[in-house]
Amino acid sequence: MQSERWTQGPIGNEPEANRASITDLLRQLASESGNLVRQEMNLAKLEIKDTASQFARDGVKLALGAGLAATGGLALTAFLILVIGNILNAAYWAGALIVGVLFLLVGALIARSGINNMKE
């Protein structure tokens, strides 16, 4: 029974003339593989373009937000200088000096923390 299984002839219902040869199948596989690679490359290009344009839009939003935050920070700094100057009997120069030194110290602490993290 086992030997009959291997000697029965071609598998399937098609006549042998309609069947593709191994060489034809390999050619078709190579052709289809090339098409698939080209399609995947085109898809990757489209995804990269989409990602880049989204990144650009987000970058503009970040820049606008940072600019507005900096403007708000400057307004609050001026307010703090005026408040301290009023407390010191119109010595606004002293208020500006105190705020400047305070910002300098906070900036130095943040920079030192960043340097220490970079060393690790």
Based on its alpha-carbon atoms, the radius of gyration of the chain, rounded to whole angstroms, reads 37
- For position 14, what pLDDT does the model report? 56
Tell me the three-class secondary structure of the chain, residue by residue: CHHHHHHCCCCCCCCHHHCCCHHHHHHHHHHHHHHHHHHHHHHHHHHHHHHHHHHHHHHHHHHHHHHHHHHHHHHHHHHHHHHHHHHCCCCHHHHHHHHHHHHHHHHHHHHHHHHHHHHC
Q: Which residues, 6+ apart, have CB-to-CB distance to 16 below 8 Å?
A: 10
User: pTM for this structure?
Assistant: 0.56
Chain position carrying tokens 């820049």: 63
Higher model confidence: residue 115 or residue 4?
115
Task: Give the pLDDT of residue 42.
Answer: 94
Average pLDDT over residues 92-104: 96
pLDDT of residue 120: 84
Q: pLDDT at residue 7 above 60?
A: no
Rounded distance, CA 14 to CA 16, Å? 6
61 pLDDT higher than 70: yes
Q: What is the mean pLDDT of the chain?
A: 88
